[in-house]
């Protein structure tokens, strides 16, 4: 159905707006006007050819974007589907979306035996801030990976040789290829780590390492704990930090079998399995006639 069809960028951008948090929130309220407006604008012939559901149409649009407009959502979703979901299913692994580290926000991060950060640069992205992002990520993560278009591989190979690189090719069945492994970074920065941690988490680290929490108040607990954490050897702090991240509630509403197109949205909205099933149930409703 998608062969020999060309799409202008405005249409593709319009299609891509369907895969956003606000749209999902409206669908959960049984408001499918965002989907119906796209059908009315671009795909009346498609609707007339099939008795379909809202989910069928989202799958149709996703395939178009995957082949013609691989934006950040497509990259993230493909990476989740091909590389992370099996890991997330394990009890000792967690993954987070849009994770703040210093002045940067990482696209995806994972904690299992080590801490890993994944920064995505699609065809549509600039590498203008990449140097600063890498600098921030090195302060908190053991392994750093860039996910970049295969066509731009040579441009990114010039960055720090310790950074791993994964390429994306929308034309291949297996879209992601590991081009260079990340070199393990044992050094983490205490100031960066303590600003990632929640109050309960940095207090847990102090208690686990020292065996007891010192006397403190809500006014001085940060400074007291920071001073103590600064004295913890880096290798031990790294392990304690990873354990605290793994204790955070992780996103389980993902599937590597059904409705893969929605995995990144499920992660971004921190959906539980129950919430995801409710969304899919609503999207499987038949399209209303225009």
Our count of domains for the chain comes to: 3
Q: What pLDDT, on the 0 to 100 scale, is given for residue 253?
A: 62
Per residue in 42-70, pLDDT (tens digit) is 998 888 766 799 999 999 999 999 989 98
Measured in residues, the chain has a length of 290
Q: Does residue 276 belong to any structural domain of this protein?
A: yes
Q: Is 219 exposed, middle or buried (0-12, 13-18, 19+ CB in 10 A)?
A: exposed
> Is 46 in the same domain as 79?
no
Q: Give the residue-averaged pLDDT of 174-193.
A: 93
pTM: 0.88
> Is 65 in the same domain as 122?
no
> Is 85 in the same domain as 102?
yes
- Label the pairing between strands 94-101 and 104-111: antiparallel
> Is 149 in the same domain as 226?
no
Q: What pLDDT, on the 0 to 100 scale, is given for residue 248?
A: 85
> Is 144 in the same domain as 196?
no
> Is 218 in the same domain as 201?
yes
Q: Does residue 289 belong to any structural domain of this protein?
A: no
Q: Give the residue-averaged pLDDT of 72-94.
A: 79
Per residue in 159-173, pLDDT (tens digit) is 889 999 999 987 877
Write out the residue range of the structural domain in which residue 132 sits. Answer: 73-180
1 pLDDT higher than 50? no
d(CA 283, CA 24): 10
> Is 42 in the same domain as 91?
no
Q: Does residue 142 belong to any structural domain of this protein?
A: yes
> Is 133 in the same domain as 87?
yes
> Is 64 in the same domain as 91?
no
Q: What pLDDT, on the 0 to 100 scale, is given for residue 173?
A: 74
Per residue in 85-103, pLDDT (tens digit) is 666 555 578 889 999 999 9
> Is 51 in the same domain as 15?
yes
> Is 139 in the same domain as 168?
yes
3 pLDDT higher than 70? no
Q: Do 179 and 151 contact (CB within 8 A), yes or no?
A: no
Q: Does residue 290 belong to any structural domain of this protein?
A: no
pLDDT band for position 289 (cuts 50, 70, 90):
confident
């Amino acid at each position: 159905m998608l062969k020999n069809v060309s799409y202008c960028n405005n249409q593709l951008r319009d299609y891509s707006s369907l895969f956003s948090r606000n749209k999902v929130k409206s669908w959960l309220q049984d408001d499918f006007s965002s989907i119906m407006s796209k059908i009315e604008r671009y795909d009346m012939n498609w609707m007339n050819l099939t008795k379909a559901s809202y989910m069928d149409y989202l799958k149709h649009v996703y395939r178009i974007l995957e082949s013609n407009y691989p934006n950040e959502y497509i990259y993230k979703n493909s990476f989740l589907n091909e590389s992370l979901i099996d890991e997330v299913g394990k009890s000792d692994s967690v993954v987070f979306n849009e994770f703040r580290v210093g002045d940067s926000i990482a696209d995806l991060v994972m904690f299992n035996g080590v801490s890993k950060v994944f920064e995505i640069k699609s065809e549509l992205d600039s590498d203008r801030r990449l140097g600063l992002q890498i600098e921030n990520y090195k302060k908190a993560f053991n392994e750093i990976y860039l996910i970049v278009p295969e066509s731009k591989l040579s441009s990114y190979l010039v960055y720090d040789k310790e950074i791993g690189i994964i390429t994306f090719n929308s034309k291949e069945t297996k879209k992601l290829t590991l081009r260079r492994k990340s070199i393990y970074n044992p050094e983490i920065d205490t100031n960066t780590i303590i600003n990632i941690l929640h109050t309960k988490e940095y207090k847990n680290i102090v208690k686990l390492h020292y065996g007891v929490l010192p006397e403190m108040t809500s006014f001085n607990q940060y400074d007291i704990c920071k001073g103590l954490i600064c004295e913890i050897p880096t290798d031990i702090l790294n392990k304690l930090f990873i354990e605290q991240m793994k204790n955070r509630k992780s996103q389980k509403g993902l599937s590597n079998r059904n409705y893969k197109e929605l995995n990144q949205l499920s992660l971004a909205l921190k959906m539980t399995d129950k919430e995801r099933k409710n969304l899919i149930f609503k999207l499987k409703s038949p399209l209303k006639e225009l």
